[in-house]
Structure 1
Amino acid sequence: MVKFILTLLIISFVVRYVVPVVLRLLVGAFVQKQARKYGQQFGGTPFESPFTPPTGPPPSSPGEVHVDYVPPKQKKSKPTEFKGGEYVDFEEVK
């Protein structure tokens, strides 16, 4: 009977204190391995924020904005003569 209780206490101690530590180490190593594999596959570094600002030349002076492309402006054409809108005959139905 004493042997059974001692075995039960040892198993409960291992399950309560040792298993969580071992699992934390194993899962952490697995996550790091997957992050490295992801970084190699997609060309990024592990745990890199996807919202990093683009790396480009900084503006030459504070407050100055550099624009790479400006679309051409289209001139608004004014109608030369207004002939009215589209009219539809209307009948009131009772």
Structure 2
Amino acid sequence: MFIKILLIFLVLALVLRFVLPLLMRHLLVGFLQKQARRHGQQLGGAPFGGAAPPPSPGRDAPGQVHIDYVPPTPRRTKDKPTEFKGGEYVDFEEVK
């Protein structure tokens, strides 16, 4: 009876010491890769060095700027000047 309990304890200890960390590492890596793929799809990127998705047709080449929206310029009122006429001159002295 005592030998049977000791063997069960020994097998359980070996499983917890060697097999469980490998299993947990495998599950954690799989979970992290799944999350990275999910976030990569949301952001349009390719995780883990995979090939980037091809550019969609009708878009500019990489490095080109495309502006979708330009906000309207505010109207000038008669109270505000239309251009800057200058400011006060301040003499510069170098301090050593």
Structure 2, unpaired ranges of 5+: 50-61, 65-84, 89-96
Higher relative contact order (Cα pairs below 8 Å, separated by 6+ residues): 1
Partner residue of 1:5?
A: 6
Rg (Cα) greater in structure: 1
* Aligned residue runs from structure 1 range 13-92, under 5 A: 13-47=14-48, 56=63
State the 1:6 CA deviation.
0.2
Give me the CA root mean square deviation: 2.6
Structure 1, unpaired ranges of 5+: 49-54, 58-75, 80-94
TM-score where L is the length of structure 1: 0.51
Taking structure 1 as reference, are residues 14 and 78 closer, same or farther at Cα in structure 2, changes over 3 Å only? closer
Superposition misfits of 4+ residues, deviation over 6 angstroms: none
State the 1:38 CA deviation.
0.3
TM-score where L is the length of structure 2: 0.50
